[in-house]
């Protein structure tokens, strides 16, 4: 059975494999409901007029989730996107779980979601050899998105991913085997192989080309391959700026505890060479022999050693020297990448974006160690985030800030964390520089997350008009989560019903999605 909705596209909901738990579509006359088949039809759904494109979420009184509230004026212009799984396209350029994604996109279209974010990995597209691009898998996804009638935001990822396992291109990895200095390295000599060191941005380490030249070629190839979608289906592009796409050093790595202060990443040969040159140019050659000797390790708390303590090295003349240099490389890297993108995509009608991390651990400490080890510092009392925002403004780029679902009350008291104050700080810095802010949630479900997102989107000072919810997968489409997400969408996109939508409801029919065991492992939460 198919149900069609008249609109920009003929969206049809059909039987498909979607998740490891069953999610039901319940069809009752002109009403489409998303239900848990094992329950007594506790439902939350979408009512669509056969004569109109207007729709509204329908909420059962029995659903114990986020309560729907009247839509504030400040939310009227918020555009909602949802991220696709990181492994949507595999290393062989196959589209994973095609049927599940197609059905999921149609469901999101019915809900009123405007678009989809698609992560596009350098290691998938330019895998085998420099300049040899294979876009077929991602082009197939773009075509699906277009046919469903959604917009597409492309994230160009010049980084690898641990989960799922996606590395840098094979030809880059081979270069790294012979010259590990192209990777960030910690003081123990361990390289971080999911991202190139910022110190090689303008060094011809990639078969005679610099990383910036290679990134430029990638952007130009993307623009050519997706020319039919640019400015219509594709409305935005995010440039990967570092680990996991964020502008930061890999100071906290995935196999270490986030409760630690993090580690400085300045021990690869190119970083050490840059530090040595900087120290000599400032008349302090002995300070260029290595990173801080009294800083804690990844999982050690800030007070474990003296560097981040009150009156510690971070506040000394040496600390200002080192942190200023360390931060300057981060900012210069952002400027280079965003400049490459700005040049490549000028005149295409798409908005450019870059993503910052929300390093809220230890934010209440005066030293704010998680931010310093990641590269965010400014001397003489200047705002460390305003300098970054200035670079974004220079390149006419939006800033994506994650963690808009986090609240102070749900943080561990011992971590001295404050996501709310840090988020407000970054938004204020962006406002001063005239940088538009786009929001994201953290990648994990948190208590009261939807309510907190709504509060952040209502912030008149930030004027956030684009929010991307991360990320589609088995957890996202579980009955409990999807019901709550549906009410969240209603709060952002509440439309009046036409008189045709008051028809009697009878003769229910259910289509189960994901009951086939083959789909259980195909669509994983990122």
Domain containing residue 112: CATH number: 3.20.20.80
Q: Across the strands, what pairs with 154?
A: 118, 237
Ordered DSSP codes for 208-249: TB-HHHHHHHHHHHHHHHTTTTBTTTEEEEEE--SGGGBSS-
Does any domain span residue 53? Answer: no
Length of the chain: 526
**C-alpha distance from residue 243 to each of 120, 234, 250, 252, 315 (Å):** 14, 24, 6, 10, 27
CA 522, distance to chain mean position in Å, is 21
Residues 347-356 have pLDDT tens digits of: 999 999 999 9
* Residues of the domain holding 448: 79-264+322-497
User: Structurally, how many domains does the chain consist of?
Assistant: 1
Give, as one character, the DSSP assignment of residue 89: B
Does any domain span residue 388? Answer: yes
Does any domain span residue 102? Answer: yes
| Mean pLDDT, rounded, for 121-131 | 97
Residues 278-325 have pLDDT tens digits of: 999 999 999 999 999 999 989 889 988 899 999 999 999 999 999 999
Distance CA 157, CA 122 (A): 6
User: What pLDDT sits at residue 127?
Assistant: 97
Residues 465-517 have pLDDT tens digits of: 899 999 998 899 999 999 999 999 988 865 433 334 333 333 333 333 333 33
In terms of average pLDDT, the best of 72-86, 238-252, 456-470 is 238-252
Does any domain span residue 434? Answer: yes
At 35, the pLDDT band (50, 70, 90 cuts) reads very low
Does any domain span residue 283? Answer: no
Residues 404-435 have pLDDT tens digits of: 999 999 998 888 999 999 999 999 999 999 99
Distance CA 176, CA 167 (A): 12
Query: Which helix (H) or strand (E) element contains residue 119?
Result: strand 115-121
User: 70: Cβ–Cβ under 8 A, 6 or more apart, which residues?
Assistant: 494
Does any domain span residue 313? Answer: no
Distance CA 109, CA 46 (A): 11
Does any domain span residue 503? Answer: no
Write down the mean pLDDT value for the chain: 83
Neighbours of 522 (CB within 10 A): 21
Does any domain span residue 308? Answer: no
CA angle, 233 as apex, 228 and 236 as ends, to 5°? 105
């Amino acid at each position: 059975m198919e149900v069609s909705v008249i609109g920009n596209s003929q969206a049809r909901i059909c039987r498909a494999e979607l998740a490891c738990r069953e999610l039901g579509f319940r069809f009752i006359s002109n009403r489409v409901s998303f239900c848990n088949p094992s329950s007594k039809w506790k439902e939350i759904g979408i009512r669509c007029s056969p004569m109109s494109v207007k729709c509204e979420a329908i909420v059962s009184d029995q659903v114990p989730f986020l309560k729907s509230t009247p839509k504030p004026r400040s939310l009227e212009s918020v555009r909602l996107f949802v991220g696709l799984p990181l492994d949507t396209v595999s290393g062989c350029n196959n589209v994973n779980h095609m049927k599940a994604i197609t059905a999921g996109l149609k469901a999101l279209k019915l809900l009123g979601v405007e678009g989809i974010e698609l992560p596009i990995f350098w290691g998938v597209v330019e895998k085998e050899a420099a300049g040899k691009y294979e876009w077929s898998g991602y082009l197939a996804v773009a075509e699906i998105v277009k046919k469903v009638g959604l917009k597409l935001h492309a994230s160009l990822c010049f980084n690898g991913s641990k989960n799922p396992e996606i590395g840098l291109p094979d030809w880059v990895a081979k270069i790294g085997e012979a010259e590990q200095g192209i990777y960030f390295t910690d003081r123990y000599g361990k390289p971080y192989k999911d991202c190139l060191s910022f110190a090689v941005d303008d060094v011809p380490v990639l078969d005679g080309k610099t990383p910036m030249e290679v990134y430029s070629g990638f952007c130009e190839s993307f623009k050519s391959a997706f020319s039919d979608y640019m400015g219509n289906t594709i409305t935005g592009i995010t440039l990967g700026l570092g680990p996991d796409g964020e502008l930061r050093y890999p100071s906290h790595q995935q196999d270490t505890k986030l409760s630690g202060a993090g580690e400085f990443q300045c021990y690869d040969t190119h970083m050490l060479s840059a530090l040595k040159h900087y120290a000599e140019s400032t008349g302090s050659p002995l300070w260029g022999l290595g990173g801080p000797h009294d800083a804690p390790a990844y999982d050690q708390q800030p007070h474990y050693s003296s560097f981040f303590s009150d009156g510690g090295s971070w506040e000394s003349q040496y600390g200002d020297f080192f942190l200023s240099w360390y931060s300057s490389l981060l900012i210069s890297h952002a400027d280079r990448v965003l400049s490459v993108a700005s040049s490549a995509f000028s005149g295409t009608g798409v908005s450019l974006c870059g993503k910052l991390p929300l390093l809220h651990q230890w934010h209440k400490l005066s030293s704010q160690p998680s931010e310093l080890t990641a590269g965010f510092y400014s001397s003489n009392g200047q705002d460390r985030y305003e300098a970054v925002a200035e670079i974004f403004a220079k390149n006419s780029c939006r800033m994506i800030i994650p963690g808009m679902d986090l609240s102070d009350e749900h943080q561990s008291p011992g971590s001295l964390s404050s996501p709310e104050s840090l988020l407000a700080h970054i938004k204020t810095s962006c406002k001063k520089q005239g940088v538009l802010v786009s929001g994201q949630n953290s990648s994990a479900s948190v208590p009261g997350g939807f309510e907190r997102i709504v509060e952040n989107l209502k912030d008149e000072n930030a004027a956030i008009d684009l929010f991307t919810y991360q990320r589609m997968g088995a957890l996202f489409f579980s009955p409990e989560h999807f019901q709550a997400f549906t009410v969240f969408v209603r709060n952002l996109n509440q439309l009046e019903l036409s008189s045709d939508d008051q028809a009697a409801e009878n003769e229910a029919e259910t289509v189960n999605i994901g009951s086939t065991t083959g789909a259980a492992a195909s669509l994983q939460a990122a």
